[in-house]
Amino acid sequence: MTARARPAARPRATAGLRMTGGMAHAPSRVTRTVILGSIGLIFAIPIVAMVEFTLRKGLEGGYDFSRWVTLFQSGFSGPYRPVVTALGNSLALAIGTVAIVLLLLVPTMLLVHIRFPQLRRLLEFICILPITIPAIVLVVGLAPVYSVVSRLFGSGVWTLAFAYGITVLPFAYRAIQSNIDGVDVKTLTEAARTLGASWTNVLVRVLVPNLRRGILAGAFIAVAVVLGEFTIASLLNRINLQTALVVVSKTDPYTAVILSLLALTFAFGLLLLIGKVGSGPRIRSVKGTT
């Protein structure tokens, strides 16, 4: 007689995970609340401290909104005008950086994934390498390049987009690659090509919509990095939001913190907008269907 095959052992329930039919699902509501609450508290502590700092009256004690009112009543003019100009520079740099990274990175990653999978490790190494190099070392290497760029194209702040493209490359790569790994890119490409679609239509109308979440995540990370970057702009003598805030903080630290809070609010609003756009339309479940 042959021995009976032992039934496969059921996976043990992981702490905080609900088990249905032997399969682990999303954490329970209590677990999600605890995790999100803890993370939110960690982020909220420095923000609350910044708000409290801007509301202080001074040595006499107490709190008021006089600094906030003065800043908004002045219309960000006078001594705060350079900050508005620097914010415009940072936004332009963010747009330029996103365009450079996505227009070069996304087609390259798709080409390697579809046609040259043996080069994936090499591309990953090249894209991840900038995160291991300190910003000061990058500036030392980029300084001779920027001297040539300045002679040929001028020394405008827009030239920082090339350096920022290198800086955000590791973050954008990981965000987009994780989305590519979750989509059957080869099958979608072969099906579209079989139906007569050109490579441009395959990229724009088939692949990019399916990779929307990863592309938007990479774009947001690029914007966040550009808005918070200081070292490269300072050492290359360019004016962006962070360098302007440092200048303002030397004369009025309270206003510098207020402007930093406004920049954080803008970044948070951008995160919510990208999350809303990237989520796509919700599919309603129909009762009685299998």
* Banded pLDDT at 284 (limits 50, 70, 90): very low
pLDDT at 244: 87
Q: What amino acid occupies position 137?
A: V
Supply the DSSP symbol for 20: E
pLDDT at 277: 64
pTM assigned to the model: 0.73
Q: Is the pLDDT of residue 11 over 50?
A: no
Nearest to 71 by CA among 241, 251, 240, 256: 256
pLDDT at 227: 85
In order, the DSSP letters of 50-106 are HHHHHHB--TT--B-SHHHHHHHHTTT-GGGHHHHHHHHHHHHHHHHHHHHHHHHHH
Q: Are 159 and 149 in contact (CB under 8 A)?
A: yes
Distance CA 99, CA 97 (A): 5
The predicted model gives 13-19 an average pLDDT of 48
Name the more confident of 6 and 73.
73
State whether residue 276 is helix, strand or coil: helix
Of 32-41, 248-257, 268-277, 279-288, where does mean pLDDT reach its minimum?
Answer: 279-288
Segment 217-271, tens digit of pLDDT: 888 888 888 888 888 888 888 888 888 888 888 888 888 888 888 888 877 777 7
